[in-house]
Chains A and B, each alone.
Chain A
């Protein structure tokens, strides 16, 4: 049983559009929520992370929105570019150092030129 559920499994967006990936969690002990980006043949790389004391965090074109009461968080990619085409994973951890991460199933994003 996955403790972090991620949707959609795949996503196709036109260049310049907004990509939205959603995650829901069950464990109320989670208090650190990172997103990882993975290109084919490579290991995941930390993209952006949030803690539950804020509802939104923005870094460049990437924004995490966090809804503690609904136990949901999402990644928004503004002005999506073909170079953003990758697999994105949300994750959650019961400690704010990101140890014992529980990952979502991943979303394969394709941005069409």
Chain B
């Protein structure tokens, strides 16, 4: 099992550009989520999904869109990148909504100029 994979590892964008951060898991997990990590602020939940076709907002959803068409994939879309979205983004998954242990991917470092 590859676990949770994320692509790309690093990306530079210009303000106003759009992009999609990819996340995939091969563990047949129902629950997937996206976090951003900023210095001194820990990780903050952006969006999450409890299963294919079902998504919901987390703590900091503005400027981001998600969809969940398959169990395996949970892409995060930045519609119009802003410098405030410079961060490290982590995708995580767990077997179900009621299961505790989340497995995090290796992260995508995003720089918005």
Residue from the list A32, A44, A97, A102 in contact with B99, Cβ < 8 A: A97
Residue from the list B48, B58, B106 in contact with A43, Cβ < 8 A: B106
Count A/B pairs, Cβ under 8 Å. Answer: 59
Residue A42 lies at the interface, judged by CB distance under 8 Å to chain B: yes
Chain A residue at minimal CB-CB distance from B109: A41
Inter-chain CA distance A106–B58, complex, in Å, is 20
Do residues B98 and A97 form an inter-chain contact, with CB atoms below 8 A?
yes
Q: Decide: A103 near B42, CB < 8 A? Known: A43-B92, A43-B105, A44-B90.
A: yes
**Total residues of chain B contacting the partner, CB 8 A:** 25
Q: Which residues of chain A are near B45, meaning CB under 8 Å?
A: 100-101
In residues 46-85 of chain A, which contact B (Cβ within 8 Å)? 46, 49
Encode contact with A along B63-105: 1 for CB under 8 Å, 0 otherwise: 0000000000000000000000000001010100111111111
Residue from the list B42, B43, B92, B106 in contact with A42, Cβ < 8 A: B106
Do residues B40 and A46 form an inter-chain contact, with CB atoms below 8 A?
no
Chain A residue at minimal CB-CB distance from B98: A97
| Chain B: minimal CB distance from A79 (Å) | 25
Do residues A43 and B40 form an inter-chain contact, with CB atoms below 8 A?
no
Inter-chain CA distance A44–B105, complex, in Å, is 8
Q: Decide: A106 near B42, CB < 8 A? Known: A46-B101, A49-B100.
A: yes
Residue B41 lies at the interface, judged by CB distance under 8 Å to chain A: yes
Q: Which residues of chain A are near B92, meaning CB under 8 Å?
A: 43
Residue A99 lies at the interface, judged by CB distance under 8 Å to chain B: yes
Q: Which residues of chain B are near A104, meaning CB under 8 Å?
A: 42
Residue B21 lies at the interface, judged by CB distance under 8 Å to chain A: no
Residue A14 lies at the interface, judged by CB distance under 8 Å to chain B: no
Q: Which residues of chain B are near A100, meaning CB under 8 Å?
A: 45, 58-59
Q: Decide: A106 near B101, CB < 8 A? Known: A43-B4, A100-B45.
A: no
Using a CB–CB distance below 8 Å, which chain A residues touch chain B? 2, 4, 6, 9, 32, 34, 41-46, 49, 89, 91, 96-106
